[in-house]
Chain A
Amino acid sequence: MTGTPGLPRDLPARTEAEVIGTSPIERTAAEEALDLDLEHELMTINMGPHHPATHGVLRLLVSLQGEIVRDLKPVMGYVHTGIEKNCEDKSYWKAIPFVERMDYLSYHFNAQVFCGAVETLLDLEVPKRAEYLRVIHMELTRIQSHLIWLGTTALDLGAMSMFFYCFRDRDRIMDLFELSTGQRMHTRYVQVGGVHEDIPVGFAEKTLQFCREFPERVDQFEALLSKNEIFLNRTRRIGVVGRERLMDLGVTGPLLRAAGEPWDLRKVAPYSSYGDFEFAIPIGTIGDGWDRYRVRVQEMRESVRIVEQALEGLPEGPWIADDRKVVLPPRHELPTSMEALIHHFKIVTEGYRVPPGEAYYPVESPRGELGCFVLADGSAKPARVHMRDPSFVNLQSLRDMCVDGYIADLIQNLAMLDPILGGIDR
């Protein structure tokens, strides 16, 4: 290692210094291109994996020229737990809690896509009431996921109190889940064929009360942020990626809608009784951080409308399909019916068999298209479960958002991207 001419002591030149992350396999392309050009002082630094602003265990390899980001490469896999592989060793109904833990903020959506794919393979009809209950829980999940996003994003931009306000309201939704399912997170409420239980007495009133109060809370959030000069300066015209480029990168969800593309699977391909409800799809104009913020905040209002409509139009009837080969028999039948006991025993021990075939089932999660591919080989365990996680695919657009911007805007862009590392790494 030779010294730089002109320096008083024999110090190694900065470009030759050993920087963490410049092992032969972990280099950004811009760094390699500029490697021989000593005129440029390009510094590659690690951001993460343990950085509060990376929203999880995400490592970013960032090449900086001064304060300007010249290249960026996400490195992930730090919380990979092999959930897809583990599902192959579980019977279908035991895989539901596993998939719920992938994207830990949208657990009802994860369960819904997996159950939807299995129901497609079984050609199982889901009762109308179950569809409505699923929609209610999914939309409440969307609100709480967006609340966490709003709180952490505002925190990243310096608005500390937003974090507490958002978590306070999120806790009310958690309380509602606890009331209806017994759990606050990872509720295992969605089952193949319907939902686990009917909603208890009082759930509808409490949820409607929440729905009445929540739009006012959103007004308060907007009053805090929407005209805040710091927030505006940090988000407006930052991280703009064109609509066409986003679609080439496979980006879906609020990011794509903020760029002006009204693509929402709930509207264009209504699954699970979404066709019964009236709601709007908020879209942005240019797709900067400000548009992404506006789209998500507006989506919370629309979700409230859907929950209200679903609760008011909640049909009577069973909440789970009446197929004894797939669905556990009601608990009260077990002491009196031998047949019910045998079915119960068979489902709990072996599980149910799914005829061979493969199905892909997409839904609109808070982050975009969440799809589940299930391959059945005729046994009681899936031969392959693959989740097309929106965070994983959307993360590819981070480089386009950040390159040639300031490093402070990188934090804003990442927050507006709303990645959930549990979903990315699975």
Chain B
Amino acid sequence: MPDAAGLELIAQELNDAHSGSVRGTYHEHGQACLIVEPDRVLDVLGWLRDTPGQEYRFLASLHGVDYLPATPRFGVVYELLNMPRVERLRVRAAVADPGGGELPEVPSVVSMFPTADFQEREVYDFFGIVFRDHPDLRRILMPEDYVGWPQRRDFPMGGEPVIFTRDEAETPGWYE
């Protein structure tokens, strides 16, 4: 893990290379995180991967987070790893909710990290975050005809009706 000073240095250098890409940083429990503009994710991850001295070449995990009621509401979290130095760095794209039934958009990093393929589909499936230029953006774990984004914090718990044969009288034709 880069220490707090090292993290600020990375943020500074990133902002010099791609101005306005880093929105903030935090360093807690020994873990470092860069909060970045969602549209600059490709710039930031590309810089972190290819710049000598950084070389975070392994994307360990990619997942979505819903920070409701905070704004910006969503986060797409990239857990980067430098294998030779065994250093981890978290990059979080702070994604705003456009509201009004529109889905937030983030550029896909599949071209840079092929491992992101399934994981971006999972984030899309559960949070409704669209990954631009993803080769095959479909639901992955939920049924393809499912409506709604179940991991959002405002999606109700237990919202799925469990239908049994004995409920035939109440919901005729449930099996269709």
Q: B23 within 8 Å of A by Cβ?
A: no
Instruction: For residue B95, give the distance in angstroms from its CB to the closest CB of chain A.
Output: 14
Interface centre among A247, A268, A358, A359 (most CB of B within 10 A): A358
- Picked from B113, B141, B155, the residue with its CB within 8 Å of the CB of A76 is B141
Shortest Cβ-Cβ A-B pairs, 10 listed:
A250-B115, A388-B61, A77-B141, A386-B63, A80-B141, A268-B86, A120-B29, A248-B114, A89-B157, A384-B65
Q: List residues of chain B with CB within 8 A of the CB of A360.
A: 31, 61, 79, 88, 90
For residue B99, give the distance in angstroms from its CB to the closest CB of chain A. Answer: 21
**Which B residues lie within 8 Å of A86 (CB)?**
157
Enumerate B143-161 residues with CB–CB distance to A below 8 Å. 143-144, 150-151, 153, 155, 157
Contact A396–B115 (Cβ < 8 Å):
yes
Smallest CB–CB gap between B111 and chain A, Å? Answer: 11
Whether, in the assembled complex, A84 has its beta carbon less than 8 Å from a beta carbon of chain B, the answer is yes
Q: Is B77 an interface residue (CB 8 A)?
A: yes
B176 interface hit (Cβ, 8 Å): no
Total inter-chain residue pairs, C-beta < 8 Å: 93
Question: Which A residues touch B138, using CB under 8 A?
Answer: 25
Q: A369 at interface (Cβ–Cβ under 8 A)?
A: yes
A-chain residues with CB within 8 Å of residue B30 when the two chains form the complex: 120
Known: A248-B114, A373-B79. 19 other contacts (CB 8 A): A80-B142, A84-B126, A85-B150, A120-B30, A247-B57, A248-B115, A250-B58, A250-B113, A250-B114, A263-B83, A268-B86, A357-B29, A359-B29, A360-B61, A383-B153, A384-B151, A392-B118, A392-B119, A392-B122
Contact partner of B29 among A121, A268, A269, A392, CB < 8 A?
A: A121
**A395 part of interface (Cβ distance < 8 Å):** yes
Contact residues of A with B, CB < 8 Å? 25, 76-77, 80, 82, 84-86, 88-89, 120-121, 123, 247-251, 263, 268-269, 357-360, 362, 369, 371, 373, 375, 383-384, 386, 388, 392-393, 395-396, 425-426
Residue B102 CB within 8 A of the other chain: no
Among B79, B88, B141, B144, the residue within 8 A (CB) of A426 is: B141
**B79: which of A248, A268, A269, A371 is its contact (CB, 8 Å)?**
A371
> Could you list 26 A-B pairs, sorted by A, with CB under 8 Å?
A77-B140, A82-B150, A85-B150, A86-B157, A120-B30, A247-B83, A248-B114, A250-B114, A250-B115, A251-B115, A269-B86, A357-B29, A358-B33, A360-B88, A360-B90, A362-B60, A369-B60, A373-B61, A375-B67, A383-B153, A384-B66, A386-B63, A388-B61, A388-B63, A396-B117, A426-B141
Q: For the complex, give the distance between the alpha carbons of A360 and B148 in Å.
A: 27
In the complex, B44 has a CB within 8 A of chain A: no
Nearest Cβ in chain A — how far from B129, in angstroms?
14
Closest to B122 in A: A392
A77 touches B60 (CB 8 A): no
Separation in Å of the A363 CB from the closest CB of chain B? Answer: 12
Chain A residues whose CB sits within 8 angstroms of the CB of B143 once the complex forms: 77
Q: A49: shortest Cβ distance to chain B, in Å?
A: 13
Chain B residues lying within 8 Å of A89, measured Cβ to Cβ, are 157
Give the nearest-CB partner of A244 in chain B: B57
Residue of A248, A251, A386 with most chain B CB atoms under a 10 A cut-off: A386
Q: How far is the CA of A239 from the CA of B164 in the complex (A)?
A: 44
In the complex, the answer to whether B63 meets A393 with C-beta atoms within 8 Å is no
Closest residue of chain B to A265 (Cβ to Cβ) is B86
Please measure, in the bound complex, the distance between the C-alpha atom of A25 and the C-alpha atom of B65, giving whole angstroms: 27
- How many residues of chain B have a CB within 8 Å of chain A? 40
| A369 to B79 Cα, complex, angstroms | 12
Binding site for A on B (CB under 8 A): 28-31, 33, 57-61, 63, 65-67, 77, 79, 83, 86, 88, 90, 113-115, 117-119, 122, 126, 138-144, 150-151, 153, 155, 157
Within the assembled complex, what's the spacing in Å between the Cα atoms of A50 and B26?
A: 47
Q: In the complex where A263-B83, A384-B65, A388-B63 touch, is A25 in contact with B144 (Cβ < 8 A)?
A: yes
B176 to chain A, nearest CB (A): 18
Q: B79 contacts A388, CB within 8 Å? A: yes
**B59 x A250 contact (CB < 8 A):** yes
* CB pair A396 B118 closer than 8 Å: yes
* Interface pair B63/A359, CB less than 8 Å apart: no
Q: How far is the CB of B2 from chain A (nearest CB, A)?
A: 14
A248 surroundings in chain B (CB, below 8 A): 113-115
Return the chain B residue nearest A77 by Cβ: B141
Tell me the complex Cα distance, A25–B90, Å. 34
Instruction: Report the nearest A residue to B68, measured CB to CB.
Output: A383
Q: Is the CB of B118 within 8 A of A395?
A: yes
Chain B residues near A426: list those with CB within 8 A. Answer: 141
Residues of chain A contacted by B151 (CB below 8 angstroms): 84-85, 384
Q: Is the Cβ of B29 less than 8 Å from the Cβ of A371?
A: no
- Report chain B residues within 8 Å CB of A369: 60
Q: Is the CB of B77 within 8 A of A373?
A: yes
- Determine the chain A residues whose CB is within 8 A of the CB of B65 once the complex forms: 358, 373, 375, 384, 386
C-alpha spacing A367/B60, complex, angstroms: 14
Contacts of A88 in B (CB 8 A): 153, 157
Q: How far is the CA of A395 from the CA of B153 in the complex (A)?
A: 29
CA gap between A316 and B118 in the complex, in Å: 45
Q: How far is the CB of B144 from chain A (nearest CB, A)?
A: 6
